[in-house]
Structure 1
Amino acid sequence: MSRVRTVLGDIAPERLGVCDAHDHLFLRSRQLPGRELDDVDAARAELEAFRAAGGAAVVQWTPHGMGRRAADLAALSRATGVHLVCATGLHQAPHMAPEPVARLRGRLAEVFVAELTEGIGTTGVRAGLIKVAGGFHALDAHARWTMTAAAEAHHATGAPIAVHLELGTGALDVLDLLCGELGVPGERVILGHLNRSPDPVVHRQAAASGCWLAFDGPSRAHHPTDWRMPAAVRSLAEAGHGDRLLLGGDTVTAGARSVDGGPGMPYLLRRLRPRLAAELGQDLVDRMLTEHPSRAFAVDWK
């Protein structure tokens, strides 16, 4: 029976509710010095603001080695009433110190499987997805290593694989590797950041694999393609792929939180939802926020 693996345990998919399918409560990156998401009180306030806007669940894509603070997630979920899904996985090499990454050589898939099935460290929190990353229009050796380990962990557990596409590029290379060479079913792959490269031809080609298409981070001042998101989503829906769409906020710095003066998680529901509803109709947008994530993150756990 399919279940979504939250930080408080597995739940029936229909209990997930209105879901931010890609975001971050905590995150540390060498690429973002001094801008860390590392404040428990701010994370709680952000979840409360999201809940007040009608949100019920958040999928945190922060992977291994980037300050997930898994030990704090269960208490935050209990305190706010928001379901939280935590990630295992590994991001691009520049985001992390090289020494911890080197220590994972030869056992990366084993670490992913353990965090999915046994828990993250001694926290008792089990991850509910695997997060990996591609490069700009290419897959380097690090990406191939992490995706190979992710595929192995998927085959062992059934867990979905969520992929950071660098500036929205490289979707077809990712699918060729994961779904072609490594045998991961398309419906178990979630492609993130497609709004950053709104190429309708590539989007339709990717959708043909059966993968999930995530449009996330819709409020980034440095992403001038964001205004094209509604048209890109509408194009996919009109091409028959409206049942594969996900929405997320992707808050990655402290200043982007709503409680710190940024758009934050509530923006997804407060501003993006009505804008997309005007383009696509309320019914599809509601399904993108509820039914779709409940299917994308539900697993017949092995």
Structure 2
Amino acid sequence: MSAVRTVLGDIRPEELGVCDAHDHLFLRSPRLPGQELDDTSAAQAELEAFRAAGGSAVVQWTPYGMGRRAAGLPPLSRATGVHLVGATGLHQAAHYEPELVDGLRGRLAEVFVCELTEGIGTSGVRAGLIKVAGGFHALDAHTRWTMTAAAEAHHATGAPIAVHLELGTGALDVLDLLCDALGVPGHRVILGHLNRSPDPVTQRQAAESGCWLAFDGPSRAHHATDWRMPQAVRDLAEAGYGDRLLLGGDTVVAGARSVDGGPGMPYLLRRVRPLLAAAVGAELVDRILTEHPGQAFAVDWK
């Protein structure tokens, strides 16, 4: 039976409820010095604000080596009543010290599989997805290595693969590699940030593969998200791809949290939801927030 693997255990897809399909509670990177998401109290307050806005599930895409705090996720889920899904995977090389990456050579897929099936470190928390990343209009050697390992881990477990697209670019190259070359079914791939490069032709071509398009980071107006999102969602729906969409907040720095003065997770429901409902109708938006995440992240776990 298909199940979504949360930090408290597997649940039925319909139990997720209203879901932020791409966000972060904890994250650190040398590319974001001094802006780390590392405050447990702030993370709990943000989840409580999201819950108060009508949310009931958050998928955290923070991968290996970027301060996931896996052991801290179950207490947060219990305290707030919000389902949490954690990730394994590996981001771009720039987010790590070279020694960490070198230490994973020859065993990356094994690490992914272990974190999906046995648990992250000693926490016992099992990941529910694999997060990898492309580059700007290109797939470098690091990307090909991580995506090959992700595909191997997918074939071993069934886990979905979520992909950071740098500034929304490279979607078709990613699909050529993951789906065509490495045999990952399109519906097991989630493309993040595709909306940051608002090319309707590429968006439709990506949707044709059967993959999921995650319109995430809606508060980042400088990434051409908020003001173009309604039209993009409408165009995809009218082309027959309304059933391929997900929504997420992608909060990556402390100042972006609602409890620290930013839009944060509640913005997805407080502002984006009615904005999209005016463009495509509340019924579709409700499905994007509830049914679609269950379909995208539910797996017949091997």
* CA distance in 2: counterparts of 1:226 and 1:13, whole angstroms: 28
Match of 2:32 in 1: 32
Deviation at 1:224, TM superposition (A): 3.5
Secondary structure at the counterpart of residue 190 of structure 1:
strand
Whether 2:188 is the aligned partner of 1:188: answer: yes
Does residue 53 of the first structure (1) align with residue 50 of the second (2)? no
Alignment of 1:115-126 (within 5 A): 115-126=115-126
CA distance in 1, matches of 2:95, 2:137: 18
> Aligned equivalents of 2:293 and 2:7: distance in 1?
16
After superposition, the C-alpha distances for 1:229-282 in whole angstroms (9 at most, x for unaligned) are 111111111000000100000000000000000000000000000000000000
2:276 is matched with 276
Cα-to-partner distance string for 1:117-173 (whole Å, 9 max, x where unaligned): 000011010000000000001100000000000000000000000000000000000
Is the contact made by 2:221 and 2:227 (CA closer than 8 Å) also made in structure 1?
Answer: no
Q: Could you say which residue in structure 1 is the equivalent of 2:109? A: 109
Tell whether 2:156 aligns with 1:156: yes
Would the aligned equivalents of 1:195 and 1:226 in 2 still touch at CA under 8 Å?
no
Aligned position for 1:3: 3
* Contact 2:198-2:224 within 8 A present in 1 as well: no
Question: How far apart are 1:82 and its partner, in Å?
Answer: 0.1
Residue 222 of structure 1: how far off its partner (Å): 3.1
Instruction: Say which SS state the counterpart of residue 246 (structure 1) adopts.
Output: strand
* 1:63 aligned residue: 63
2:76 is aligned with 1:72: no
| Aligned partner letter, 2:227 | W
Partner of 1:249: 249
| Inter-partner Cα distance in structure 1 for 2:160 and 2:86 | 12
Q: Deviations over 1:75-129 (max 9, x none)?
A: 0000000000000000000011111111000000000000000000110100000
Deviation at 1:226, TM superposition (A): 3.4
CA distance in 2, matches of 1:286, 1:102: 44
Q: Provide the TM-score with structure 1 as the length reference.
A: 0.99
- Distance (Å, rounded) in 1 between the aligned partners of 2:20 and 2:221: 20
Paired residues of 1:129 and 1:162 also in contact (CA < 8 A): yes
Match of residue 211 from structure 1: 211
Shift of 1:221: 4.2
| CA positional deviation for 1:206 | 0.5
Task: Work out the CA distance in 1 between the residues paired with 2:6 and 2:13.
Answer: 11
Q: Between the two proteins, what is the percent identity of the paired residues? A: 85
Amino acid at match of 1:208: E
Compute the displacement of 1:227 (Å): 1.2
Unaligned runs of 5+ in 2: none
**1:215-226, aligned counterparts within 5 Å?**
215-226=215-226
Instruction: Give distance in 1, aligned partners of 2:240 and 2:85.
Output: 29
Which amino acid counterpart does residue 11 of structure 1 have in structure 2? I
Q: Where do 5+ consecutive residues of structure 1 fail to align? A: none
In structure 1, distance between residues paired with 2:40 and 2:286: 30
The answer on whether the counterparts of 1:7 and 1:127 sit within 8 Å (CA) in structure 2 is yes
Distance, in Å, in 2 between the alignment partners of 1:113 and 1:56 is 27
Q: How many angstroms does 1:225 deviate by? A: 4.4
Give the whole-Å Cα distance in 2 for the aligned partners of 1:226 and 1:196.
10
Tell me which residue corresponds to 2:143: 143
Counterpart CA distance in 1 for 2:224 and 2:239 is 24
Contact 2:132-2:161 within 8 A present in 1 as well = yes
**Coordinate RMSD, CA, aligned:** 0.6
| Mapped partners of 2:96, 2:274: distance in 1 | 37
Give the letter for the 1:86 counterpart.
Answer: G
**AA of the residue aligned to 1:54:** G
| Residues 196 and 226 in structure 1, CA contact (< 8 A), matched pair in contact too | no
Please identify runs of 4+ aligned residues in structure 1 that moved more than 4 A: none
- Structure 2 equivalent of residue 227 of structure 1: 227
Q: How many corresponding residue pairs?
A: 302
Q: Which residue of 2 aligns with 1:179?
A: 179
- Alignment match, 2:87: 87
- Which residue of structure 2 aligns with residue 267 of structure 1? 267
**Alpha-carbon distance in structure 2 between the residues aligned to 1:83 and 1:244:** 22
1:301 aligns with 2:301: yes
Counterpart position of 1:43 = 43
Deviation at residue 223 of structure 1 after TM alignment: 1.7
